[in-house]
Structure 1
Amino acid sequence: MKKEKDGKLLIDLCECYISLSNDFSSECLSICVPCLLKVASNKERHEETQKEVEMALLALSNVRCCVVEQELYLGAIKEIIQYHQEHHNLTRLAYQSAWQFLINRLFTDKRLEDMIVNELHFGREASRELEELSKCVDWKREKAEEEEERGKERGEELVIWRWLDAMYDFLYSCRLWNEELAGVIGNVVSVFQASRDNRKRISNQCIYLFKRAAENVIMKIDVLLDEGVVDLILEEMKQSTLKDGIMFESLQFLKNISRKLKEKEVDKPEEEKRKAIKRKIFEKMEEEGCEELITSLYRVISFLNRKYWYCLSTNISDYFVGV
């Protein structure tokens, strides 16, 4: 009984340390990571066990921006993800947390790219989870409803936000592409359209993700065009002001698209394809009435990109709206 009690105490201490700390020592991680992964590897379906697994994986998902040696986690986290893909034994939050822990490792270990993209199919899994979670949320319902119902929905919305955050981190770190990633972009567009009226935190996160996608060297412009991202950004620009930050993110998106379109292709068919995409984007801008807006603001983008862009004169917001 004492051994069991000491084991539970160690698990609690590991969860508290990882959840509350911002600076992880390698010595503590060498104890905490294997301990929590052992808990998370429990495949029993009892509700209490599932909660313990969820807590362990949620704690592990907080391990960011630090080196964790592969031998401490790789075999276990890979088995946890693959077992869930076959048997669906984890809660939605637990499954997302398992992926978040693995995506966080990409910051310091690029050797994981092929396994994440092609073996564990991050694009496919993120796309499916976003689609299924979106069906569980009543997007039209106002926030101020019964507390009990609101709490349940907040849980689903939180997991959606966490998948968007994981995708943002993935696009920051990964330079490997497969076609499954295009499906994620399409589902993020759907989430944005559903959340834009009543769930601003989620819709804003979608915009940040689109900007990150346009920055990523692996992201293809035709994917952003075909999945409706360019249309969405142009539409948002007409409704935003500098005050909510979305105008800035949208301008950055278009600046990154512009940079990609200027890159020269050695391959002639690819160059022709690029020119066709460029024509399509310019036509869309003209249709939306954004052509003059982009031209007028092109010279101030670098200024807006500075650290203190939030401190701009309020008069410039009127200028944005006027244009």
Structure 2
Amino acid sequence: MEHVALPAAPEVAPIPWRAYARLAKLDIWDYYLSVPLVAALVLAAGTGADAGAVLAVLVLFLGGEVAMSAAMCTFDDVTGYRDGSDAVNYGPDAPARRLARKPLVAGTLTERQAIRFGWLTVALCVLCWAAAVAVAPARPGWAVAGTAALAVFGFQYTWWLRISYNGFQEFFLAALGWFFVLPLYGLLTGRADGFAVVQALVFGLGPLLFGVYSNTNDIPGDRAVGRRTAAVLLPPRGNAAFVAGCSALEAVLLVGSAVAGFAPWWFPLVMAPVVALRGWQWVLGFVRGEILLARRLGIRLHRVCCALLVGVDLALAVTGGGL
């Protein structure tokens, strides 16, 4: 019997997982530090909530944060690809490793693939946070509303409302951190303690205080595409004063919270390195002109600040100081 050869199956192109991971900027994890911070806050609060439920909510909320951040970064890349700003900043003369962080410009993903991925991550975020609310030990209205607002507005950094283009970028960077902390804390404890609010505000200022240095470095590109950041709208001295004011606000929260009785008396002593290094960051950026070095210091300083906050909360949990 004569053997009839079957036609070869068409080759299926492999799914570019690495390109999607780069599109989602999964290596940028500074906002995710909100989850260990809230976990430490809950321990310090001593609510007595079921440990299994607390862990489930933390994991689900973290999953939603990762998905939301992926959606925000994806749509930001689509916008940058469409308006040409990424083509300028990540052109053919850019180092290959740097160019690879922009899959649309590098040609490893199409615009259609990116948009589809963005909406899928938005849907995943909504599912994760809906599940987190469903299994939460407490569901105060303000925490549920805050979670819902975050799901609605979080991905609109440069999409739809284009928040960062319309003069609210700095507020958005800080508010994203606040909303990653307070609603989650409310879902786990049912309340918003003064010290928890202080830590949420400090946490949100962290990404802001390296974002404003990025904006200062990106003035020409942002101005060219109509992105109205404070660095673009203000004169150089005004921008430097604005950044100094944001840094001073962090110091006021760290010191003033103890004076007002929200934090233990020793809290400013523990956080003193943050205050000192924040001043050095400003000098580095606006006196010495090393903006990118100041930005890098800001990223590391945010992580140090989070570690110190977690340490303070764990100390309160161990000593029974409470919130």
Decide: shared fold, TM above 0.5: no
Which one has more relative contact order, counting CA pairs under 8 Å at least 6 apart?
Answer: 2
TM-score, length of structure 2 as denominator length: 0.32
TM-score, length of structure 1 as denominator length: 0.32
